[in-house]
Amino acid sequence: MLSRIAESLFWIGRYVERADDTARLLDVHVQILLEDPWAEEDLACRSLLSVMDRPVPPDHVEVGREHVLDVLGYDRFSPSSIAGALVAARENARRAREIVSTELWECLNASWNQLPSQMRPARPHDYFTWVRERAAIVTGIMESTTSRDETWHFLVLGRAIERADMTARLLTTRALLGSAGPGWSTLLRSCGAHEAFLRTYRGTASDERAAGFLLLDRLFPRSIVYALNEAEASLTALEPVADRAGIDDARRHIGHVRSNLEYRPLLEILDDLPREMELVQRACSAASDAIRGRYFPSGAELTWVGEAL
Amino acid sequence: MADLFDDYPAGAAWDEMIGTDGEAQPAYRHVHSALAQLSAGELRARADTLARSYLKQGVTFDFAGEERPFPLDVVPRVLAGDEWEHVAPGVSQRVRALEAFLADVYGPQKAVADGVVPRSVIVSSTHFHRAARGVEPPNGVRVHVSGIDLVRDSLGGWRVLEDNVRVPSGVSYVLSNRRAMAQTFPELFATLRIRPVVDYSRRLLAALMAAAPAGVDDPTVVVLTPGVYNSAYFEHTLLARTMGVELVEGRDLYVAGGRVWMRTTQGRRRVDVIYRRVDDEFLDPVVFRSDSLLGCPGLMTCARLGTVTLANAVGNGVADDKLLYTYVPDLIRYYLGEDPVLPNVDTWRLEDPGALEEVLDRLPELVVKPVDGSGGKGLVVGPRATRAELDELRGRLREDPRGWIAQPVVQLSTVPTLVEDGLRPRHVDLRPFAVNDGDSVYVLPGGLTRVALPEGQLVVNSSQGGGSKDTWVLGGRVPRRAPGSGQSAPQTVPKDASVPIDSNPSDRRVQVMQQQQTLADGGTTC
Return all residues near B112 (Cβ < 8 A) that are at least 6 apart. B118, B119, B122
**pLDDT higher for B88 or A298?**
B88
> What percent of chain A shows pLDDT beyond 70?
91
Query: Quick check: is A265 in a domain?
Result: yes
Same domain, A125 and A162: no
Domain boundary residue, one of A146, A170, A186: A146
Band the pLDDT of B1: cuts 50, 70, 90: very low
Q: Give me the amino acid identity at A73.
A: G
B301 and B257 Cβ atoms separated by less than 8 Å = no
Same domain, A185 and A249: yes
Same domain, A154 and A137: no
pLDDT at res. B184:
83
Q: Could you read off the pLDDT of A162-191 as tens digits, one per residue?
A: 999 999 988 888 777 766 666 777 788 888
pLDDT at res. A204:
65
Same domain, A77 and A3: yes
Is beta strand B221-224 parallel, antiparallel or unpaired with respect to B273-276?
Answer: parallel
Pairs of CB atoms within 8 A across A/B? 132
Q: Do B499 and A281 touch (CB under 8 A)?
A: yes
CA distance B304 to chain A (A): 27
Q: Could you read off the pLDDT of B16-71 as tens digits, one per residue?
A: 888 877 788 888 888 888 888 888 888 898 898 888 888 888 887 766 667 678 88
Nearest in space to A14 (alpha carbons), one of A171, A308, A231, A274:
A231
pTM of the entire structure?
Answer: 0.82
Band the pLDDT of B523: cuts 50, 70, 90: very low
Same domain, A123 and A220: no
Query: Quick check: is A189 in a domain?
Result: yes
CA distance B506 to chain A (A): 7
pLDDT at B274 over 90: yes
A222 vs B131: CA distance, rounded Å? 50
Domain boundary residue, one of A94, A118, A146: A146
- Mean pLDDT of the region B188-204: 85
Lowest mean pLDDT among A102-111, A225-234, A255-264, B508-517: B508-517
Q: Do B241 and A172 touch (CB under 8 A)?
A: no
Same domain, A154 and A142: no
Same domain, A114 and A171: no
CA distance A177 to chain B (A): 4
> What percent of chain B shows pLDDT beyond 70?
88
Q: Do B506 and A301 touch (CB under 8 A)?
A: yes
Nearest in space to B104 (alpha carbons), one of B213, B96, B402, B347:
B96
pLDDT at res. B479:
43
B14 vs B155: CA distance, rounded Å? 9
Return all residues near B464 (Cβ < 8 A) that are at least 6 apart. B376, B452
In A, minimum Cα distance to B494 occurs at A50
Q: Could you read off the pLDDT of B128-154 as tens digits, one per residue?
A: 998 888 888 999 999 999 999 999 877
Lowest mean pLDDT among B217-226, B334-343, B476-485, B497-506: B476-485
pLDDT at res. A282:
93
| Other beta carbons less than 10 A from residue A293's beta carbon | 14
| Other beta carbons less than 10 A from residue B64's beta carbon | 5
- Mean pLDDT of the region A36-47: 74
Same domain, A132 and A198: no
Q: Do B498 and A203 touch (CB under 8 A)?
A: no
Query: Quick check: is A309 in a domain?
Result: no
Lowest mean pLDDT among A60-69, A145-154, B147-156, B375-384: B375-384
Same domain, A290 and A238: yes
Average pLDDT for chain B: 85
Q: Do B503 and A200 touch (CB under 8 A)?
A: no
Same domain, A138 and A205: no
A80 and A88 Cβ atoms separated by less than 8 Å = no
Query: Quick check: is A305 in a domain?
Result: no
Length of chain A: 309
Domain boundary residue, one of A115, A146, A177: A146
Cα dihedral across residues A48, A54, A60, A64: positive or negative:
negative
Structural domain containing residue A266: 150-295
- Helices A102-118 and A82-95 sit at what angle, rounded to 10 degrees? 150
- Helices B200-210 and B171-184 sit at what angle, rounded to 10 degrees? 160
CA distance B356 to chain A (A): 52
Band the pLDDT of B518: cuts 50, 70, 90: low
Q: Could you read off the pLDDT of B346-365 as tens digits, one per residue?
A: 898 888 878 888 888 888 88
CA distance B406 to chain A (A): 44
Which of B49, B507, B510 is the best substitution to test chain A (most A C-beta atoms within 10 A)? B507
Query: Quick check: is A71 in a domain?
Result: yes
Contacts of B511 in chain A (CB under 8 A): 77, 79
DSSP element (H, E) containing B160? strand B158-164
Alpha helix (H) residue ranges in B4-144 = 29-36, 40-57, 81-105, 110-113, 119-123
Q: Which of A36, A205, A278 sits opposite B497 (nearest CB)?
A: A278
Q: Do B241 and A198 touch (CB under 8 A)?
A: yes
Q: Could you read off the pLDDT of B401-438 as tens digits, one per residue?
A: 888 889 888 888 899 999 888 888 889 999 999 999 99
Q: Could you read off the pLDDT of A197-219 as tens digits, one per residue?
A: 888 887 666 778 888 899 999 99
Nearest in space to B277 (alpha carbons), one of B220, B231, B226, B229:
B226
Band the pLDDT of B494: cuts 50, 70, 90: low
Q: Give me the amino acid identity at B306.
A: G
Contacts of B189 in chain A (CB under 8 A): 34-35
Query: Quick check: is A85 in a domain?
Result: yes
> What percent of chain A shows pLDDT beyond 90?
44
Nearest in space to B512 (alpha carbons), one of A19, A72, A105, A79:
A79
Contacts of A38 in chain B (CB under 8 A): 480
pLDDT at res. B64:
64
DSSP per-residue string spanning B235-260: HHHHHHHHHT-EEE-GGGEEEETTEE
B294 and B257 Cβ atoms separated by less than 8 Å = no
Query: Quick check: is A133 in a domain?
Result: yes
Q: Do A7 and B504 touch (CB under 8 A)?
A: yes
DSSP per-residue string spanning A6-70: HHHHHHHHHHHHHHHHHHHHHHHHHHHHHH-TT--HHHHHHHHHHHTT-PPPPTTSPP-HHHHII
Return all residues near B481 (Cβ < 8 A) that are at least 6 apart. A179, B488
pLDDT at A30 over 90: no
DSSP B344: B
B458 vs B369: CA distance, rounded Å? 13
Return all residues near A72 (Cβ < 8 A) that are at least 6 apart. A22, A26, A48, A49, A52, A54, A80, A81, A82
ipTM: 0.72
Highest-confidence range of A289-293, B91-95, B463-467, by mean pLDDT? B91-95
Query: Quick check: is A307 in a domain?
Result: no
B249 and B301 Cβ atoms separated by less than 8 Å = no
Contacts of B221 in chain A (CB under 8 A): 202
**Domains of chain A: total:** 2
Three-state DSSP at B346 gives coil
Q: Do A201 and B505 touch (CB under 8 A)?
A: no
Same domain, A154 and A277: yes
B407 vs B161: CA distance, rounded Å? 10
Q: Which of B201, B498, B505 sits opposite A304 (nearest CB)?
A: B505
CA B126 vs CA B278, B376, B403: distances in Å: 17, 17, 10
Same domain, A101 and A50: yes
